[in-house]
């Protein structure tokens, strides 16, 4: 867990012709207007080359652009990497520039980078963003090849600061950003694990390891205990698999004087075939990511373990594998959940909401008085937001407001769906307290799915986050890698740790 690959430090920048960091390349981040002003690389011929690229429209300073200029000995680096920031220098544009620089460094097999801090943003923010970008940009999915070729590694990065910079403050900023990026990459790693390599019992072991590492209390209920406590929903969803369900709980008490306890519940479906209401096999492999919510929460808890914010947390991860077999639950089944409510199962592929309902009730029983759930809950969210934004549903706008603020600080896109009573009415069952799907109608699918969970939040303030479109990508997109993204780790960490991070 958490192997530090890149050694990141700061040094005072003196001049372009001094390569004290002994770097293979120097990274210069430029806004469009800085590029227009010219003379930005500290070397006339290289500046001329850069202006040439500008005139041809190859490098305009737009965010996302990155050019590697070989110096041919004009500067004491092999390359100058120029990265576009677009119109403004912000944490978001700097993080992106750093991701692209890190990827280019790997492609060119550069082991040491120097990155010059821009002067148009405070140096703590710059250091946080650049550090995050380096570690997120060098993320690579695990490979299972017999003979894996030796991979390039970025071993060292030196952030070049102004002389006046507070070195201790910046060292702490690096450590904080490393923790956040490690949490994100940890969530990516867990989410990318194939279904045969991560089952509910191994997810539970992973959570126990994290708890031990961070000093959290940890409890794991096996399938017998789950059934004995009356969680008929989690039992039903897990029934079809030879890999039985688990209910994982972590507890962190960072504010013992407060009675406020936030429950965070993550969907931990280690593989979702849809069960008897089986999914189309085309693309079903994406469903290795159906525990992305659980992974994001564990990633955020890694950050909590290091930064120790003053909050009380109960993390609940209901975990199951949604499979078919003679023991699987069926459409038409009526199951009774921990809350005592009955659920009519119309579609066994709407399994996430059932186990999240169990998780919410359990968190409330343990004392949570506010609730957040994170889940790859619906494909319907892709119809609304594509793979761009995470959907939020809440029963308490005042609770959501600061959370949206945290998402904005973390530069993750969260957009609220409406919570009208008409949507909740679509979940009325003729035989049970609630039904798990709206039948043949797929209208407002992401909203009704969220509101099913909200039914079990009852009066407790609650936020639901549907990462069905954002937790996993079919191909690399901008700064985000192919496969698991680790989305919501930064937002949750930002919400829980506040200004200790952003
Ligand atoms: N895990 C899926 C949702 C999902 C699908 C996430 C595709 C990411 C990509 C969830 O369990 C599911 O199958 N939801 C169904 C619900 C429907 C049967 C009411 C869906 O959205 O199609
Ligand atoms: Mn499903
Ligand atoms: Zn699912």
354-373 pLDDT per residue, tens = 999 999 999 999 999 999 99
Q: Which residues line ligand 1 (CB under 6 A)?
A: 272, 274, 286, 290, 347, 349-352, 376-380, 437, 445, 468
| Ligand 1 atom at minimum distance from 272 CA | 1
The whole-angstrom separation of Cα 475 and Cα 463 is 29
Kindly tell me if the per-residue pLDDT of 189 is higher than 80: yes
If you average pLDDT over residues 299-321, what whole number do you get? Answer: 98
Q: Is the same domain home to 327 and 368?
A: yes
- Tokens 């409330």, located at residue: 364
Give the tokens for residue 147. Answer: 């003979």
Distance CA(268)–CA(358), nearest Å, equals 12
- CATH code, domain carrying 238: 3.40.630.10
Contact call for residues 307 and 501 (beta carbons, < 8 A): yes
Structure confidence at residue 402 (pLDDT): 98
Higher pLDDT, 42 or 68: 68
Mean pLDDT of 443-467: 98
**Are residue 111 and residue 242 in the same domain, yes or no?**
no
Backbone angles phi, psi at 310, to 5 degrees: -85, 70
Question: Are residues 261 and 362 located together in one domain of the fold?
Answer: yes
CA of 388 to the centre of ligand 2 (A): 21
Residue pair 324/203 in contact by the 8 Å Cβ criterion: no
- Same domain membership, residue 192 and residue 147: no
Query: How does DSSP classify residue 225?
Result: H
124 CA from centroid of ligand 2 (Å) = 42
Q: What is the DSSP string of 426-474?
A: TT--SSSSEESS-TT--TTHHHHHHHHHHHHHTTS-EEEEE-TTTSEES
| 42 domain-assigned | yes
Query: 380-438 pLDDT, tens per residue?
Result: 999 999 999 999 999 999 999 999 999 999 999 999 999 999 999 999 999 999 999 99
Going by C-beta distance under 8 Å and a sequence separation of 6 or more, which residues neighbour residue 374?
264, 265, 266, 267, 292, 293, 294, 296, 297, 465, 467, 488, 492
pLDDT tier at 1, thresholds 50, 70, 90: low
User: Do residues 219 and 140 both lie within one domain?
Assistant: no
pLDDT of residue 5: 76
Q: Is pLDDT above 90 for 140?
A: yes
Which atom of ligand 1 is the closest one to the Cα of 287?
1
Q: Is residue 178 part of a domain?
A: no
In a 3-state reduction of DSSP, which class is residue 336? strand
Q: Say what the pLDDT of residue 3 is.
A: 61
Ligand nearest to the CA of 320: 3
**CATH number where 43 lies:** 3.40.220.10
Q: What is the mean pLDDT of residues 237-242?
A: 98
Sheet holding 156-161, edge to edge: 7-12, 156-161, 112-116, 25-30, 79-84, 66-70
Question: Would you state the structure tokens that stand for residue 58, as one six-digit string?
Answer: 């190859």
Q: Are residues 216 and 342 in the same domain?
A: yes
Q: Is residue 347 part of a domain?
A: yes
DSSP state of 289: G
Which residue among the candidates 103, 188, 353, 435 is catalytic per the annotation? 353
Instruction: Give pLDDT, residue 484.
Output: 98
Q: Is residue 486 part of a domain?
A: yes
The answer to whether position 1 is within a domain reads: no
What confidence score (pLDDT) does residue 4 get? 66
Q: Are residues 150 and 195 in the same domain?
A: no
Mutate to test the pocket of ligand 1, among 348, 378, 468 (most ligand atoms within 8 A of CB): 378
Nearest-ligand number for the alpha carbon of 381: 1
Q: How far apart are CA 481 and CA 187, in angstroms?
A: 13
Known catalytic membership, residue 229: no
CA of 355 to the centre of ligand 1 (A): 14
- Quick one: pLDDT at residue 439? 85
Q: Over the chain, what is the mean pLDDT?
A: 97
Q: What is the pLDDT of residues 68-84, one digit of tens each?
A: 999 999 999 999 999 99
Ion ligand 2 neighbours, Cβ < 5 Å: 272, 349, 351
**Structure-token pair, residue 216:** 């959290």
**Domain for residue 176, yes or no?**
no
Residue 405 class from Cβ within 10 Å (0-12 exposed, 13-18 middle, 19+ buried)? middle
Q: Is residue 2 part of a domain?
A: no
Tell me if 351 is assigned to a ligand binding site.
yes
Instruction: Tell me how far apart the alpha carbons of residues 271 and 243 are, in angstroms, rounded to a whole number.
Output: 11
Residues 156 and 227 in one domain: no
| Residue 151 a catalytic site member | no
433 is in an annotated binding site: no
125 shares its domain with 11: yes
Overall number of domains in the chain: 2
pLDDT score, position 441: 87
Phi, psi of 7 (to 5 degrees): -85, 115
Query: Do 278 and 334 sit in the same domain of this protein?
Result: yes
Q: By the 8 A CB rule, do 92 and 5 touch? A: no
- Quick check: is 172 in a domain? no
Q: How many helices (H) and strands (E) in the chain?
A: 15, 20
- 139, 198: one domain: no
- Shared domain for 148 and 192, answered yes or no, is no
- Whether the CB-CB separation of 89 and 138 falls below 8 Å is answered with no
The three-point CA angle 281-285-290 to 5° equals 115
Q: Which domain holds residue 112?
A: 7-166
């Amino acid at each position: 867990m958490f192997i530090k690959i890149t050694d990141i430090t700061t040094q005072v920048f003196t001049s372009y012709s001094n390569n004290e960091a002994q770097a293979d390349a120097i990274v210069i981040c430029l806004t469009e207007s800085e590029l227009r002003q010219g003379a930005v690389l500290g070397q006339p011929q290289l500046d001329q080359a850069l202006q040439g690229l500008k005139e041809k429209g190859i490098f305009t300073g737009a965010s996302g652009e990155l050019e590697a200029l070989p110096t041919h000995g004009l500067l004491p680096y092999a390359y100058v990497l120029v990265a576009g920031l677009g119109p403004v220098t912000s944490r978001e544009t700097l993080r992106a520039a750093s991701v692209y620089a890190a990827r280019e460094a790997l492609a060119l097999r550069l082991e040491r980078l120097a990155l010059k801090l821009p002067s148009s943003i405070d140096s703590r923010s710059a250091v946080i963003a650049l550090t995050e970008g380096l570690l997120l940009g060098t993320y690579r999915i695990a490979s299972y090849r017999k003979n894996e070729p030796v991979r390039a590694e970025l071993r060292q990065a030196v952030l070049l600061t102004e002389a006046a910079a507070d070195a201790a403050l910046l060292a702490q900023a690096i450590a904080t950003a490393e923790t956040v990026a490690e949490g994100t990459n940890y969530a990516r790693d867990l989410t990318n694990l194939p279904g045969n390599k991560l089952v509910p019992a191994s997810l539970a072991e992973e959570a126990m390891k994290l708890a031990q590492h961070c000093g959290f209390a940890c409890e794991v209920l096996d399938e017998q205990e789950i059934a004995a406590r009356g969680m008929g929903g989690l039992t039903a969803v897990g029934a079809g698999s030879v890999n039985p369900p688990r209910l994982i709980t972590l507890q962190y008490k960072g504010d013992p004087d407060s009675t406020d306890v936030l429950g965070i519940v993550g969907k931990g479906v280690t593989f979702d075939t849809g069960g008897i209401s089986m999914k189309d096999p085309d693309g079903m492999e994406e469903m290795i990511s159906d525990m992305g919510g659980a992974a994001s929460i564990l990633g955020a808890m890694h950050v909590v373990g290091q930064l120790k914010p003053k909050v009380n947390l109960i993390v609940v991860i209901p975990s199951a594998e949604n499979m078919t077999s003679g023991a699987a639950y069926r459409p038409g089944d009526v199951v009774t959940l921990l809350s005592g409510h009955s659920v009519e199962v119309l579609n066994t592929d709407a399994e996430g909401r059932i186990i999240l309902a169990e998780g919410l009730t359990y968190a409330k029983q343990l004392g949570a008085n506010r609730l957040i759930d994170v889940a790859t809950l619906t494909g319907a969210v892709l119809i609304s937001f594509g793979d761009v934004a995470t959907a939020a549903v809440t029963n308490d706008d005042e609770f959501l407001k600061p959370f949206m603020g945290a998402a904005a600080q973390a530069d993750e896109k969260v957009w609220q769906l409406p919570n009208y009573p008409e949507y909740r009415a679509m979940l009325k069952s003729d035989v049970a307290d609630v039904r798990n799907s709206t039948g043949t109608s797929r209208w407002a699918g992401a909203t009704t799915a969220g509101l099913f969970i909200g039914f079990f939040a009852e009066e407790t303030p609650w936020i639901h986050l549907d990462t069905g479109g954002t937790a996993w990508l079919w191909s690399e997109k901008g700064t985000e890698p192919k496969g698991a993204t680790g989305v919501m780790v930064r937002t949750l960490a930002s919400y829980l740790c506040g200004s200790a991070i952003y």
